[in-house]
């Protein structure tokens, strides 16, 4: 018996398959961005010369920002997937802007701590 690891198989009516694939690409972009911010945090904490505790604090702030981006991307992916299944769509009114604002704030704090 063949098992589908992706979930329930659905008929490809209209643009459902295309919508799910676009949602998945967007999710992967959120994850890639979150991992990049976290990797910058690791690099700052590890390789910032002569900064000591400030470099570690700055790196941890950036790692938290990266995790926040990844968590929001996961939440958004699952939410949009449910909306596609239900045949409705509600744009992200505040979520993406709020997440971007928090990440910018955390990155600014990380830079100020590092200086």
Using an 8 Å Cβ cutoff, are 77 and 27 in contact?
yes
84 found inside a domain: yes
In a domain, 10, yes or no: no
pLDDT over 70 (residue 4): no
Residue 28 lies in a domain: yes
Say whether pLDDT at 5 is over 70: no
**Within a domain: 5:** no
What is the number of domains present in the chain?
Answer: 1
What pLDDT, in 10s, does the model give residues 87-113?
888 888 788 888 889 999 999 999 899
Residue 72 lies in a domain: yes
- In this prediction the pTM is 0.80
Q: Token pair for residue 77? A: 């992916």
Say if CB 44 and CB 58 are below 8 A apart: yes
Residue 108 located in a structural domain: yes
Residue 103 lies in a domain: yes
Task: Look up the domain containing 55 and give its range.
Answer: 16-114
């Amino acid at each position: 018996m063949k098992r589908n690891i992706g979930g329930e198989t659905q008929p490809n009516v209209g643009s459902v398959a295309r919508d799910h694939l676009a949602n998945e690409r967007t999710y992967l972009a959120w994850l890639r961005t979150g991992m990049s911010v976290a990797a910058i945090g690791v690099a700052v904490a590890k390789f910032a010369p002569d900064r000591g505790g400030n470099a570690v604090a700055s790196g941890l702030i950036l790692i938290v920002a990266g995790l926040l981006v990844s968590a929001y991307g996961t939440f958004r992916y699952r939410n949009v997937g449910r909306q596609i299944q239900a045949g409705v769509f509600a744009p992200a009114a505040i979520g993406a802007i709020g997440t971007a604002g928090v990440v910018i704030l955390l990155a600014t704090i990380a830079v100020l701590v590092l200086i």
